[in-house]
Amino acid sequence: APVRDHAWHFIAATYDSKTGEAVLYHEPQIVYALDPAIPPVKKKLGVKVENQKGVPFTVAAYTKALDNSPLARSSRPAGIVMSGQYNGKIDSPRLCNKALSRQDIETMKLGSQPGMSERRHCGPTGELAEAIVGSWDFSDGINTIIGRDHGPYVFDIQLVNCPTRAMTGHNFTGHNFDWKHAPKEYGAIHFHDDDVDDARWEVDFEWDVPANQRSMSYAAKLTTKEGDEDYIPFWVVPELGKATAKIAVMIPTISYMAYANEHLANNAGGAELLVYRVPIMQDQNMFLSEHREYGGSVYDTHTDGSGLCLSSRLRPILSIRPKYDHFLMQAPWQYPADLHLIYWLETMGYKFDVITDEDIAYEGLARLEQYNVVISGSHPEHSNGKQLDALHNYTQRGGRLMYMGADGWYWVHSYHPAYDHLGRGVMTEMRRCESGIRTWRADPGEYYHQSTGELGGMWRYRGRYLHSVAGTGMSSEGFDVSTYYTRTEDSKDPRVAWAFEGISYDEKLGNFGFVGGGAAGTELDIVDTMLGSPPHTLLVATSAGRHTEAYLLVMEDYGFSQQGIDGTQHPRVRSDIAFHETPNGGACFAFSAIAFCGALPWNNCQNNISKLVGNVLNHFMQDGPLPQPPASAIKHRGRADYEPSTAK
C-alpha cells in the first residue's frame, strides 16, 4: 500500500531465517473513512539472508556497494556507496534478533526498560527482552549528531549529513511547542536525500598564513589550461587582542551561509513576480539545479518540500564568488556586493581589519572593543544572539557602528555545537516561524532550534527589535530599480551637520550605483521609535515617495491583507539614513539600503555617497569619545515623542 505524505505510519518487518518467511506490517496512524484495510503482507524469500562483513546497520539509507571510488571514500563510514536515501521522518526504530509476533511487536514499541522494578513502567521482560538488539530514542541528544541507543548494547548511531532534529514525533500532542519541555514528543528525525554537512573532499593544497599577513578579504584563484577559473574566498583576521587598525569591517558570514547555493531563481514559483521581470540566471544556478548534492540555502526547500534550515560551509558554495550576480537585482548580492565596500576602503586609502560574524559570536566584546569604529556589510540579515550582545555592549561603551546596508539582524541563527571541533561557524541553523519574509514555513511545534534549543524565527518576535541595533530596521523590499535620497531638515542639526560637509542641501544623494542604478534600493530600512529606534535619532535623508509598485511593505508590519502597500502609495516604503548617539561618546550611522554600497565605487569613488560615508568614517574613527551633543538636545523622551523631519 502507498505511504500517505505528511502523515505518520507504523511500520514493522520480520524475517524468520528458518522458514524463510518475511512479514511486513504497515499501519497508518490516521485512517480515513474510505481507506481500504491494509493487512500484513507475507512472502517466502528464496534467498539466504546473511550479514556481509563491513556493511553497517543503517537508518534512512542502505549500503549499495563497497568500493574505493571517490564517492565511497567521502562516505561515512568510508568505503561505502549508500543508496535509497529516505525523505521523511523516522521515530523510535527498534532492532531485534528474532522474528516477533504482532503482539510482541506492540510490546516492543515500549523499547528497552533496563533496571525495571514493580514501581517502574513495564517494558519487554524475560524472553522478549532478550531479543532486543537496539532501541533508539531520537529525543535523547537532540543537539548532537548521535542517535542514542537505550538498549543493552548501547549501539549509538552516527548521524551523517546533519538531518533535521527537534522534529515533532508520532506522539506529538500540541500542548508544548518547546522540545526541551516535552522531549519525548520530539523523537523524530527528518532525513533528506539532499542533506549535506561536509563534502569531505580530499585536500589538494594548503596555505599557511604568514604571521605578518595583512588582515583582508582574499580569494584563492584556480585556473585550468582550458581557461576556466574559480575563486575560493577566505578572510584573514587579526589574532584576538592584536588589532592592526582603528577600523574593523564586520564580514556577515552568517548571512553568506544562509544564502549559500540558493535555488530560488530556478525553484521559486513566483520568482518573476518577485523581481518584476524575467530572472536572468548564472551558470552556477543551472549547475546547482542539476546537482542537488551540493546542498541548498535556508531559502530553499528539500526535495520532499520541507524547509531547509541548516547550512554548512564544508562544501563548495558557488554563490559566494566575486563575479556572481544574483538574480534578484542582476547585480552583486551578499559576498560580491560587500566587495564594493572593500574596494572603496582600499581606493580611499583607509587602513582596516576584517573580522567575521563567527569571530564575534565566539569571542564577544573582546573581538570589537579595540576598534574605534565597526562597519557592517551590505546585508547582515542573519545573526547570532551572542553577536548581537557584543554589538550592543560595544556601542553602549562608546564604540561607533556604521550600518552600511539594510534588512540587518532579522533572523535568529545559531551554530551547531556538534561541529565546533571542525571550526567556528561550520553549521548554522535557522527556523522560519510566525512571520517575516518566508520562502517556507516551519510546521507547528518545530520553531525551536535543534542546535541550541532557542526559539527561532525573527529577532523581533524574541522581543529584540532590529531597529535598536543601529537605529533603523526593515520596512520593505523591491527588486526592479533603485532610487536616490534627499536631505531633511534634521541633516542641518549641529549634532550631525559635519556628515554633510562638502554636500549641498539640494543634491540628489546616490542617483547612481551598480545595484539597480541608485543607492536606495532592493531592501530598505526606516526609523521607527515604536520598534526600537532611539527617540533622539536624527533622520537625515530619505528616499520617501520615489519607489515603484514593485516595492512592498514587509508582512510583519500589517495585520491583514490590504491594498496600498507598495512604493507608490505606502509611506513606510522608503529608506532612511539616520544618526544617533550612544552612551560614553559612541554613535551609530545607518545608511539603510542594500544597494547603498553599490554607489560607493561609482565614478572611481568620486561622488556624494562616497563623500558622505567618508565624512562619517573620518569622524567615527577618531580616538576618544565623540564630541558631546549640545545641552539643548539632552531631554526626556518617550518612544511616541519622536517627530521625524521631512524632506525639503
User: How far apart are the C-alpha atoms of 637 and 53, rounded to whole Å?
Assistant: 75
Give the confidence band of 268 by pLDDT, cuts at 50, 70, 90.
confident
DSSP for 120-162, please give it: S-----HHHHTTEEEEB-TTTTTTSSEE-B-STT--PEEP-S-
Check residues 267 and 238 and name the one with the higher pLDDT. 238
Residue 136 in contact with residue 154, Cβ under 8 Å? Answer: no
pLDDT given for residue 119 in this prediction: 63
Q: How is the beta sheet containing 411-415 ordered, strand by strand?
A: 310-312, 427-429, 411-415, 382-384
In tens, the pLDDT along 449-474 reads 999 999 999 999 999 988 999 999 99
**Amino acid identity for residue 331 in this structure:** A
Average pLDDT value for the chain? 93
For strands 586-590 and 400-403, give the pairing. parallel
Q: Which of 74, 60, 72 is nearest to 304 (CA)?
A: 60
pLDDT given for residue 371 in this prediction: 98
Q: What percent of the chain has pLDDT over 70?
A: 98
In tens, the pLDDT along 327-378 reads 888 899 999 999 999 999 999 999 999 999 999 999 999 999 999 999 999 9
Residue 430 in contact with residue 550, Cβ under 8 Å? Answer: no
pLDDT given for residue 122 in this prediction: 58
Q: pTM of the full predicted structure?
A: 0.95
Give the confidence band of 123 by pLDDT, cuts at 50, 70, 90.
low
The helix/strand/coil state of 307 is strand
480 CB neighbour count, 10 Å cutoff: 18
